[in-house]
Structure 1
Amino acid sequence: MNLARLLKARATAGRPVRVGLIGAGKFGSMFLSQLRATPGLHLLGIADLSVPRARAALERTGWDVEAALAPSFSEALASGRTMLTEDANALIAADGLDVVVEATGSPAAGAAHALAAIEQGRHVVMVTVEADVLVGPLLAARARDAGVVYSMGYGDQPALVCEMVDWARTCGFNVVCAGKGTKYLPSYHASTPDTIWSLYGLTPEQAAAGGMNAQMFNSFADGTKSSIEMAAIANAADLKAPSDGLLFPPCGVDDLAHILRPHEAGGILEHSGTVETVSSLERDGRPVFRDLRWGVYVVFEAERGASGDYARRCFKEYGVVTDPSGRYTALYRPYHLIGLELGISVASAALRGEPTGVTEHFNADVVAVAKRALKAGETLDGEGGFTVWGKLLPAASSLARGALPIGLAHHVTLNRDVVEGEVIGWADVAIADSPIVRLRRQMEKAFAAPFSPIAE
């Protein structure tokens, strides 16, 4: 990609790429640990609701905090140091800033920060995937109109999968399925912050000592985060969502091309060109052989006809693992390094004007589903909480059902009883008007495709 060379040239010229980080949580901290060691990047500032937390993130990731901090953005710009603030908009407006990294984890805050950054002419790296799934197509369109980059965050699974899909298509292969691995059993959909640590083999005391947030980690277990990440991939890579949610099939790396192929070819997929998450556990709880729990993959196929026949012969000649027909195969990456890899997105946006994955479609949505029987008057607590989990649906199906997006299912009150497993709708909750609600409705109007059951 030549990004390291370009960054080195900027460092030598005394013109580093100036970065502002909003949100100093786990993902932001991982980025901070590598930013410090990357020539050509300058951390102009961090905005966090707690300045002491931002300072602690710097200390935890190896910064000499006393030497690194500046009392103002102007001094930070002049000296190459860093300003800490609780005011995200002040950081976004700071002179000299090139790229905003949005890592708050809040859909409403993420969207607001992205819009402010775009208005100021800053590139945006959207780490908050929840915001991207909720209103990403509209944010990306606003960025294009403003002449700046809106990008997924490299290191997180969606951007890595989009890169693999792009690789396959650039090589002339048809993409059959793409996604990631996770640890999953059907019972996990009912998991709550009170039960989560047993799934990770930890005690609550151990989790607290590690600074681990129960609700955030629960969103990974209960299926919500997988749905969100698969929706992001579908919307950026122009792939389809399964008609009734992710299947989470148990599957190791050697079986990707065998299991993740269409029904007519002997696999489990409704159709080619879809997303799916594979489980590292068999349904009886046994571990899957050579699982892909921490990794990502793409399943692709050779073209039909003479050129495809030749490619299939090449697969065999070079030891490529395929399905029995020799037509389907897969490429996978066993790990993702999350925020440790985020510098790729920052450098790509600033130096090449290119995103590492960008949402251009509204193919998939993530809707709120009741974890248990809920009563009118109860308040939903959103992603990873006690009341709902997020299920992946085709966007057209979600809109036709009037389903409530998981990104808006927080601090809203039910106005009727719902049964366990029921998709909750906009009409089922009392939801106040707000900027993020209006933005979501604008996005739906601009990007929604008509519902077609036959097409699904």
Structure 2
Amino acid sequence: MVLLPHPARERTPIRIALTGANGGYGRTLLAQLRRTPEILPAVLVDPDIAGVRRMLDDLAIEPDSVTVIPDASGLDWSGLDVLVEASGRVSAGFDYAATALANGTHVVMVSKEVDSVVGPDLARRARLAGLSYLAGDGDQPANLLRLVDWVSAVGLDIVAIGKSGEYDLEFDPTTGRVVQSGVTVDAPGLADLLDLGDDVSSTLAARASLVAPLKRAAAADSCEMTVVASRTGMTADVEAMHYPVARIDELADIYASIDDGGIVARDGVVDVFSGLRLPGEASFAGGIFAIVRTGDPVTWEILRGKGHVLSRDGRYACIYWPYHFMGVETPLTIHAAVDSAPALTPAWTTILAARTQDDLPAGTAFAVAGHHHEIAGVAPVMIDPAASVAPYYLLDGARLRHAIPAGELVRLEDLEGVADAPLAAYLAGTTLNESNGAHR
């Protein structure tokens, strides 16, 4: 194994606690920490202690070097520099993060669900304590914020930012079938729609119709874009986002202004697309993008010639990073937290709310479930902030006081059994908008 020398290897050791340690994110981070000896996994928190110990054995990490506990209720925070919160659960994640900050420990927030409910309040607590509260590199929100920082520092004019969905649509023209994450549908008509043509919106609508049996939108996508919106002030163009079925080289045309033939109604939009590719073509790999206006045509035609993605009329360019490497990248944020690196502060410019998909009777119980952390009966929507509206992930464990018809937003007054501490933190965060906003 050859590792190039880096100043990060020479710094004072950083001791971290990791919650949700037995998840996929936890494993990728722990695997990477074997190559970053300056970061020491001191405490691993997960209810599945046996699973954590099996993982440690699989990774050849000495079990005596790490404390493994089912929860952090009795954790001694002294000597811990950074908490990496990856539980994915709002109540537990908020408690872990708030306790860490109260005990002088920086927080790297991987649980986007937690951030989408209590991010502004946790950021306020961190600021008052002189600590860091940062979104974790390796997931799309933090990666996209890094790209936005680069684009802004360069001085480019941003029109839209976003990410691809987690799973590509792979279309094989020889069979006429589309495969997404192991699910196959017949869509031979896509062969005639591989070019955008002159009417971009019509082509996108036709593509979407052909792949309609596939589940392309996910609550995780909306949650991630809400995290980004809370730090940039950008918002969704439509509450469920556009989700165009798009090839990489089309993004600059698709996310152009409506007046220029694209789908974007205004500047400053966050969105998600479904990546369409042929067998053997490179994937966007759940990566992130920024659509910018180009400016000098000579400069950008030179860049087009070097393979950069430009719109056909040359007015827009797509700058993209086709990756997110989960915990492999998170050491970057751990370093940044200890170094008190500047970061955008979250504020409620957008909230992730829940809109009922069916008529829901009184007593309906809500629970987050599945790989994409979704809630049956309600769809995630990105809307303007309203204190009376319940954040999507605050529904977990709550139930309806009374019946609600399909198509309605779930409001706080509609719920009983809402977790008290996250609710109070959410409401505290809503009072910060006027005084703080999203800023460095």
Which range, TM-score by smaller chain?
0.7 to 0.9
1:98 is aligned, of 81, 94, 97, to 81
2:220 is aligned, of 220, 225, 240, to 225
1:88 is aligned, of 65, 72, 77, to 72
Q: Which residue of 2 aligns with 1:321?
A: 309
1:146 aligns with 2:119: no
* Structure 2: distance between partners of 1:227 and 1:32: 27
* Structure 1: distance between partners of 2:151 and 2:128: 29
1:163 is aligned, of 141, 146, 151, to 146
* Structure 2: distance between partners of 1:287 and 1:429: 47
1:412 aligns with 2:409: no
Report the CA distance shift for 1:35/1:288 in structure 2 as closer, same or farther (over 3 A). closer
| Amino acid across the alignment from 1:410 | D
* Structure 1: distance between partners of 2:360 and 2:293: 45
Q: Which residue of 1 aligns with 2:13?
A: 16
Q: Which residue of 2 aligns with 1:44?
A: 42
Work out whether residues 381 and 387 of structure 1, in 8 Å CA contact, stay in contact via their aligned partners in 2: no
Q: Percent identity?
A: 29
* Structure 2: distance between partners of 1:265 and 1:375: 46
CA RMSD of aligned residues (A): 2.8
Report the CA distance shift for 1:419/1:279 in structure 2 as closer, same or farther (over 3 A). farther
1:201 is aligned, of 167, 182, 189, to 182
* Structure 1: distance between partners of 2:301 and 2:216: 41
Work out whether residues 247 and 276 of structure 2, in 8 Å CA contact, stay in contact via their aligned partners in 1: no
Residue aligned with 1:447, SS: coil
Q: Which residue of 1 aligns with 2:203?
A: none
Q: Which residue of 2 aligns with 1:5?
A: 6
Q: For residue 287 of structure 1, report the CA deviation from its aligned partner.
A: 9.2
Q: Which residue of 2 aligns with 1:190?
A: none
Work out whether residues 90 and 113 of structure 2, in 8 Å CA contact, stay in contact via their aligned partners in 1: yes
Q: Which residue of 1 aligns with 2:254?
A: 259
Report the CA distance shift for 1:119/1:368 in structure 2 as closer, same or farther (over 3 A). same
Work out whether residues 356 and 406 of structure 2, in 8 Å CA contact, stay in contact via their aligned partners in 1: yes
| Amino acid across the alignment from 1:294 | G
1:278 aligns with 2:273: yes
Q: How many residues align?
A: 386
Q: For residue 335 of structure 1, report the CA deviation from its aligned partner.
A: 2.1
Deviations 1:378-434 (A, max 9, x none): 212244233223222233xxx17x322111112222233334443222232224461
| Amino acid across the alignment from 2:53 | R
Segment of structure 1 superposing worse, 339-348 or 312-321: 312-321
1:336 aligns with 2:324: yes
Q: Which residue of 1 aligns with 2:287?
A: 295
Work out whether residues 157 and 292 of structure 2, in 8 Å CA contact, stay in contact via their aligned partners in 1: yes
Q: Which residue of 2 aligns with 1:393?
A: 383
Residue aligned with 1:367, SS: strand
Report the CA distance shift for 1:287/1:429 in structure 2 as closer, same or farther (over 3 A). farther
* Structure 2: distance between partners of 1:362 and 1:132: 11
Work out whether residues 100 and 125 of structure 1, in 8 Å CA contact, stay in contact via their aligned partners in 2: yes
Report the CA distance shift for 1:100/1:385 in structure 2 as closer, same or farther (over 3 A). same
TM-score scaled by structure 2? Answer: 0.80
Q: Which runs of 5+ in 1 are unaligned?
A: 70-80, 186-197, 203-219, 450-456
Q: Which residue of 1 aligns with 2:190?
A: none
Report the CA distance shift for 1:117/1:64 in structure 2 as closer, same or farther (over 3 A). closer
Report the CA distance shift for 1:183/1:45 in structure 2 as closer, same or farther (over 3 A). closer
Q: Which residue of 1 aligns with 2:408?
A: 422
* Structure 2: distance between partners of 1:141 and 1:155: 24
Work out whether residues 139 and 326 of structure 2, in 8 Å CA contact, stay in contact via their aligned partners in 1: yes
Work out whether residues 108 and 134 of structure 2, in 8 Å CA contact, stay in contact via their aligned partners in 1: yes
Residue aligned with 2:310, SS: coil
Q: For residue 311 of structure 1, report the CA deviation from its aligned partner.
A: 4.5
* Structure 2: distance between partners of 1:102 and 1:138: 15
* Structure 2: distance between partners of 1:420 and 1:280: 30
1:444 aligns with 2:434: no
Work out whether residues 175 and 272 of structure 1, in 8 Å CA contact, stay in contact via their aligned partners in 2: yes
Q: For residue 258 of structure 1, report the CA deviation from its aligned partner.
A: 0.6
Report the CA distance shift for 1:183/1:109 in structure 2 as closer, same or farther (over 3 A). closer
Residue aligned with 2:134, SS: strand
Report the CA distance shift for 1:200/1:323 in structure 2 as closer, same or farther (over 3 A). closer
* Structure 2: distance between partners of 1:148 and 1:239: 26
Report the CA distance shift for 1:155/1:309 in structure 2 as closer, same or farther (over 3 A). same
Residue aligned with 2:245, SS: coil
TM-score scaled by structure 1? Answer: 0.77
Q: Which residue of 2 aligns with 1:237?
A: 232
| Structure holding more strand per residue | 2
* Structure 2: distance between partners of 1:289 and 1:300: 25
Q: Which runs of 5+ in 2 are unaligned?
A: 169-178, 184-214, 436-440
Residue aligned with 2:246, SS: coil
Deviations 1:46-70 (A, max 9, x none): 122232232223223x1244xx41x
Report the CA distance shift for 1:184/1:39 in structure 2 as closer, same or farther (over 3 A). closer
| Amino acid across the alignment from 1:388 | V
* Structure 2: distance between partners of 1:432 and 1:318: 54
Deviations 1:90-138 (A, max 9, x none): 44x3332111101110112212211111111111100111111112122
Work out whether residues 261 and 272 of structure 1, in 8 Å CA contact, stay in contact via their aligned partners in 2: no
